[in-house]
Amino acid sequence: MIQGHQSWVFKSKPTILGCGTVGGPFEAKGALAKDFDLLHEDIWVGQDSFEKSEKKLLEEACQIAIKNAKVKKESINFFISGDLMNQIVISSFAARTLNIPYLGIFGACSSSMEGLAIASLLVDNGAAEYALCGTSSHNAAAEKQFRYPTEYGGQKPPTAQWTVTGAGAAVVGKGNGPKVTSATIGKVVDMGISDPFNMGAAMAPAAVDTIEAHFRDLNRDPSYYDIIATGDLGKIGHDIAEEILKKDGFKFQEGVFKDCGKLIYKKDQPVFSGGSGCACSATVTYGHFFKEIKKKKLNKILVVATGALMSPMSYQQKESIPSVAHAVSIES
Amino acid sequence: MSNKKNKKLTPVQQEYQNLAKAKEVKRNVLKNSLKAFLVGGSICVFGQGLQVIFIKYFKFTEETAGNPTSAVLIIISVLLTGFGVFDHIAQWAGAGTSIPVTGFANSIASAAIEHRSEGFVLGVGGNMFKIAGPVITFGVFSAFVVGIIKVTIKWLGGM
A103-128 confidence digits (pLDDT tens): 999 999 999 999 999 999 999 999 99
Segment A207-225, tens digit of pLDDT: 999 999 999 999 999 999 9
Give pLDDT, residue B7: 60
The count of residues in chain B is 159
Measured between alpha carbons, how far is A176 from A178 in angstroms, rounded to an integer?
7
B146 burial level (CB within 10 Å; 0-12, 13-18, 19+) = exposed
The average confidence (pLDDT) of chain A is: 96
Pick from A168, A52, A166: nearest CA to A119: A168
Give the per-residue pLDDT at A299.
Answer: 96
Residue of B46, B51, B52, B49 whose CA lies nearest to B66: B51
Q: How far is CA A214 from CA A76, A101, A234, A256, A303, in A?
A: 29, 30, 21, 16, 11
Q: Which of the pair, A270 or B159, is modelled with greater confidence?
A: A270
pLDDT tens figures, A47-58: 999 999 999 999
Burial of A317 (0-12, 13-18, 19+ CB in 10 A): exposed
Distance from CA of B53 to the nearest CA of A (A): 28
Nearest-CA residue of chain A relative to B83? Answer: A151
Residue spans per domain, chain B: 29-128, 133-159
pTM for this entry: 0.93
Segment A44-48 mean pLDDT:
95
Total residue count of chain A as it appears in this document: 332
Q: Please report the domains of chain A, with CATH numbers, ordered by start residue.
A: 2-173 (3.40.47.40), 179-331 (3.40.47.40)
Percent of chain B as helix, strand, coil, to the nearest 5: 80, 0, 20
Judged by CB atoms closer than 8 Å, whether chains meet at B13 and A192 is answered as yes
* Dihedral sign from CA coordinates of A316, A319, A320, A322: negative
Nearest to B23 among A156, A236, A270 (CB): A236
DSSP element (H, E) containing B156: none
Per-residue pLDDT reduced to its tens digit, B120-145: 999 999 999 999 999 999 999 999 99
Give residue A154's pLDDT band: very low, low, confident or very high (50, 70, 90): confident
* CB of B72 closer than 8 Å to CB of B80: no
Strands A102-104 and A78-83: parallel
Helix (H) or strand (E) holding A331: strand A323-331
Query: In 10 A of CB A64, how many CB atoms?
Result: 22
Q: Do A150 and B87 touch (CB under 8 A)?
A: yes
The pLDDT, as a whole number, for residue A173 is 97
> Amino acid identity, residue A179?
K
| Cβ-based contacts of A321 with chain B (< 8 Å) | none
pLDDT at A61: 98
Q: Measured between beta carbons, which residues in chain A are less than 8 angstroms from residue B19?
A: 240, 243-244
pLDDT tens digit string along A271-307? 999 999 999 999 999 999 999 999 999 999 999 999 9
Cα A126 from Cα B122, distance rounded (Å): 48
Task: State whether residue B51 sits within 8 Å of chain A by CB.
Answer: no
As a dihedral over the C-alpha atoms of residue A51, residue A56, residue A57, residue A62, rounded to 10 degrees, the angle is 130
| The pLDDT of residue B27 is above 70 | yes
Closest CB from B16, B25, B113 relative to A151? B113
The Cα A164–Cα A150 span in angstroms is 14
Task: Report how many helices (DSSP H) and strands (DSSP E) chain B contains, helices first.
Answer: 9, 0
Return the residue of A nearest to B8 by Cα. Answer: A192
What is the model's pLDDT at position B6?
56
Residue A253 per-residue DSSP state:
-
Please state which of the ranges A220-229, B3-12, B30-39 shows the lowest mean pLDDT: B3-12
CA distance A206 to A304: 10
Best residue in B80, B87, B124 to probe A by mutation, most A CBs within 10 Å? B87
Rounded to the nearest angstrom, the minimum Cα separation between A265 and chain B is 19
- Give ipTM to 2 decimals: 0.86
Dist CA A255 CA A262 (whole Å): 13
Tens of pLDDT along A230-241?
Answer: 999 999 999 999
**A160-175 pLDDT, tens digit each:** 999 999 999 999 999 9
Res. A71: pLDDT tops 60? yes
Cα distance from A285 to chain B (closest Cα, Å)?
Answer: 27
Q: Residue A316: is its pLDDT beyond 70?
A: yes
Predicted local distance difference test score (pLDDT) of residue B2:
45
- d(Cα A57, Cα A60) in Å, to the nearest integer? 5
B27 inside 8 A of chain A by CB? yes
